Amino acid sequence: MTALIHGDRDAASAAAGVPLSEYLVEEAWLWRIRRAQIERTPQDAAWIAGAAVAEPEGVVVGHGGFHAGPDEHGVVEVAYSVDPRFRRRGYARAMLAALLRRADADPRVTAVRASIRPDNAGSLATIAGFGFAKVGEQWDPEDGLEFVFRRPACGPARGSGEAGR
C-alpha cells in the first residue's frame, strides 16, 4: 500500500507478486485510508481491498474487499471497483461472487452489506441476483445519497453458494 500511495507501481507489483495496473496507483486515496485503518485495527488487514486478477490471463482488472472485518453483529460491507478499461465484461459480478464466498466461509459473518449511489446503475445491476434487499438509505459525506442493501450470509451451516443463483 505504501508503494501504491507513493506511485511506485514497480515496488507495489513486486510486493503483490503480480503486475499491478496504473488504475491501482490512481486509487492512492483508498490505500491511504486502508493503511491508516490497518494501523488502527490490524485485524482488518485480512478483509480489506486486494488486487482482482482475471484468470487465466493474470491481468489485474480492479480491486475488491470489504470495508472492515465483521462488526459486532457479524456484518461486513463489500467494496469493489473495476478499472474502466475492463468494465462491462463481467468482472464486477465475478469479484462480488468471490467476495460473497469469502464472507460466507467465515462463521462470524451473519450478513453482507452494500451501499450504492442511486445513480450508479452498474453497481445496482451487479448486486442483482445475489440475494441483496434494499434495507434503507444513508448520506455519505463524499458520495451523497446511497441506498443500503443487505444479504444474509449463506455459509456452510446456513446454505451454500451465491444467494439467488
Residue 162 inside a domain? The answer is no
Residue 163 inside a domain? The answer is no
Q: Nearest to residue 4, comparing CAs of 130, 77, 22? A: 22
The enclosing domain of 59 has a CATH number of 3.40.630.30
Grouping H, G, I as helix, E, B as strand and the rest as coil, residue 90 is: coil
Residue 58 inside a domain? The answer is yes
**What's the structural domain count of the chain?**
1
Q: Which three cell numbers stand for residue 137?
A: 438509505
Residue 161 inside a domain? The answer is no
Residue 164 inside a domain? The answer is no
From first to last of its 165 residues, the chain has per-residue pLDDT tens of 999 999 999 999 999 999 999 999 999 999 999 999 999 999 999 999 889 999 888 899 999 999 999 999 999 999 999 999 999 999 999 999 999 999 999 999 999 999 999 999 999 999 999 999 999 999 999 889 999 999 999 865 444 444 433
Parent domain of 8:
2-152
Q: Cα 15–21–24 angle (5° rounding)?
A: 80
Residue 165 inside a domain? The answer is no
